[in-house]
Amino acid sequence: MVQKLLAGNWKMNGTRAALEEVRALTAAHPRPAVALVLCPPATLIAAMADLTRDHPLAVGGQDCHVAPQGAHTGDVSATMLVDAGASHVIVGHSERRADHGETDADVAAKMATAQSAGLIPILCLGETLAQRDAGETLQVVTSQLLGSLSPEADPTRLVVAYEPVWAIGTGRVAESGQIAEAHGVLRKTLSERFGDNGDRIPLLYGGSVNPSNAAAIFAIADVDGALVGGASLKAADFGAILEALQAA
């Protein structure tokens, strides 16, 4: 049985006023039946963790540096995220890969740092539209997955999110057959690599998930939850997606 998980990625959105949405979400869903994670900008992690101290909602970072500290202006380390109250961290998001040139090797190093600091990494991967059109999707996601796992990777503290780049923030959701195919290949690869532990790694879909399409996405085989961007900013929308996952 795989733990169902709903994660929200606020990206570079939200000031302290946005904590009202978290207050509303946790008040409306005091005892969620699935794991719930919100990844706000680094400036809000400590405040969100304080606010949700008595609620099962977990807080995550959106990236971490590979070093524990040092001369890296503007970066945040995994130990700092833990210190601020985070339990999770997104690594390898396509916006980091595109905006900061992160490679699979960089992502593997971040995964290792995150796990050794005690964080649960949410590893993101997915093909571009050009790669899909060229028929390379399954090969791309498999090689991103294997390339992002260091030899020491701990499968018991890991989440994987399949996010087709062309579906992120575009309102365009992958078709259910496309999601099932990618998730099937990722599940098989994780099982081959980690055995039974690989079967228990939550596999999330991400890319324009919203309250209207969530139930259909959660009905797809090997989809254990979602990583939600835009629709995680509003408590009502994120709460509706949570209800769809609880009902799935």
Following CA atoms 8, 84, 158, 242 in sequence, which dihedral angle do they give, to the nearest 10 degrees? -30
Separation between Cα atoms, residue 65 and residue 63, nearest integer Å? 7
In the residue annotation, 93 being an active-site residue is answered as: yes
Give the interface segment with ligand PGA, choosing from 30-38, 72-80, 129-137, 221-229 (CB under 6 A).
221-229
The distance of closest approach from Cβ of residue 70 to ligand PGA in the complex, given in angstroms and rounded to an integer, is 28
Which of residues 78 and 168 has its CB atom nearest to ligand PGA in the complex? 168
Footprint of ligand PGA on residues 148-187 (CB under 6 A)? 163, 168-169
Give the interface segment with ligand PGA, choosing from 22-30, 112-120, 141-149, 227-235 (CB under 6 A).
227-235
If one asks whether residue 141 binds ligand PGA (CB under 6 A), the answer comes out as: no
The distance of closest approach from Cβ of residue 202 to ligand PGA in the complex, given in angstroms and rounded to an integer, is 15
Give the interface segment with ligand PGA, choosing from 69-77, 96-104, 181-189, 226-234 (CB under 6 A).
226-234
Count the residues of the shown chain that bind ligand PGA, applying the rule CB under 6 A: 13
Interacting residues of 152 by C-beta distance below 8 A, sequence separation 6+: 112, 115
In the residue annotation, 21 being an active-site residue is answered as: no
Q: Are 179 and 205 in contact (CB under 8 A)?
A: yes
The distance of closest approach from Cβ of residue 166 to ligand PGA in the complex, given in angstroms and rounded to an integer, is 10
- Contact residues for ligand PGA, defined by CB under 6 A: 9, 163, 168-169, 206-209, 227-231
* Residues labelled catalytic: 93, 163
